Amino acid sequence: MTAVDWDRLKTYIDKSGMWNLIINFPQDLAKAYDLAVKCVENFAFREPENVVIAGMGGSAIGGDLTREYFFDKAQIPIHVTRWFKPPFFAGKKTFAIVSSYSGNTEETISMMKGFLEKGCEMVIISSNGFLEKVAERKNIPFIKIPSGRPPRTALAYLYVPMLVLLDKAGVKGFSKSELNESIRVLEPMKEELCENGMTAQTAKNLAKEITGRVPLIYGYTPYYSVAFRFKTQINENAKYHAFAAEIPEMFHNEIMGWEGLQSASYFPIILRGKEENRELKVRIDYFKKVLDRSGISYREMFSKGEGRLANQLSLLYIADTVSYFLALLHHLDPMPVSTISGLKKRIEEDYSPLSNFEKELLK
């Protein structure tokens, strides 16, 4: 592979300091837990029949991870919704978590308004903005997280509080020991990233391999949410197309695409974790043989640790760094998302949703 002066690229391209926001993820996890535990001390909730988590973009990924973390643990269903209105079934026995880093996300505020109308029990997770004002006016429990960073870099604060909240609401399955293990697993990875060790080399080499091809990222429960996060991090940080698909569903349709004439334009990445059973292994091994026969190069990413949380977060940590190095290779500052910002400005010019929400919710 061609030698790359990564330090030079980092100095001249990463003007906003995205690197530090990414590598400090282990410390953010610990801080997020302490913050959440302190916030929920005085919260009291009814026993829920279902959970609905509302969010968009980086603020919704925590919900995806939470749903997968609890998929075979929670005694009640957990739904994640990215839309303007709550699902029909939401009602007085719904525990609603409203997640918006900025506090000004139109879709999420609209969802929160619907939760109020349906009488749902609700908690808001945000750094400030309009949602903080509504929480104060309507006396809604509020978890205030640190501000001043892009939502996608605040994942620790948008995920860990959900685990703590659900435990407080009686949805059992999360333990502090799993978080402690996750931090122990991530700390050596951070050292290797800072010192150009094995984790850094793995991430840099994968970024090089992706360049020039479209990554198709495959994952299975409880790691599909990480695959989707990987896709969105490549989109936002590297300004580059990427797609995610779920195992085993993709073996019933998408696998046929690898027989096509354009398959060489794509780069498959398979996320693999501790909870891989025989059924999954047989399918993945077959898929790898299909790729080998077609002459398609691919990569596998393996998780670290014993617990589900450590497996999720170790895959996520390396995925975030790959997206960062891919941005550097493309000579693009990973921080700005000007097209997204442009859309928000266009919406505000057209119908000013926050002004309308103020009239409806703060009167």
What is the secondary structure of 237-284 as a DSSP string?
A: HH----EEEEETGGGGTGGGGGGSTTGGGEEEEEEE-TT--HHHHHHH
| Cα(178)–Cα(157) distance, integer angstroms | 16
Catalytic member of 68, 107, 178, 236: 236
Annotated catalytic residue within 252, 331, 359, 363 = 252
- The CA-atom distances, in angstroms, between 4 and each of 35, 191, 215, 328 are 40, 21, 21, 10
> 296: exposed, middle or buried (C-beta count within 10 Å: 0-12, 13-18, 19+)?
middle
Which of the residues 113, 138, 344, 348 is marked catalytic? Answer: 344
Most distant CA pair in the chain: distance in Å? 65
Spatial contact of 248 and 280, defined as CB atoms under 8 Å apart: yes
Q: Give residues with Cβ within 8 angstroms of 303, minimum separation 6.
A: 223, 271, 272, 273, 274, 310, 311, 312, 314, 315
344 an active-site residue? yes
Q: What is the CA radius of gyration of the chain?
A: 21
DSSP 24-55: THHHHHHHHHHHHHHHHTT---PPPSEEEEE-
Residues 102 and 126 sit within 8 Å (Cβ to Cβ):
yes
Is residue 331 annotated as a catalytic residue, yes or no?
Answer: no
Of 344, 360, 352, nearest to 113 by C-alpha is 360
236 has catalytic annotation: yes
**How far is residue 163's CA from residue 159's CA, in Å, rounded to a whole number?**
7
Q: How far apart are the first and last CA of the chain?
A: 62
Q: How many Å apart are CA 66 and CA 36, to the nearest integer?
A: 15
Looking at the annotation, which residues are catalytic?
Answer: 236, 252, 344
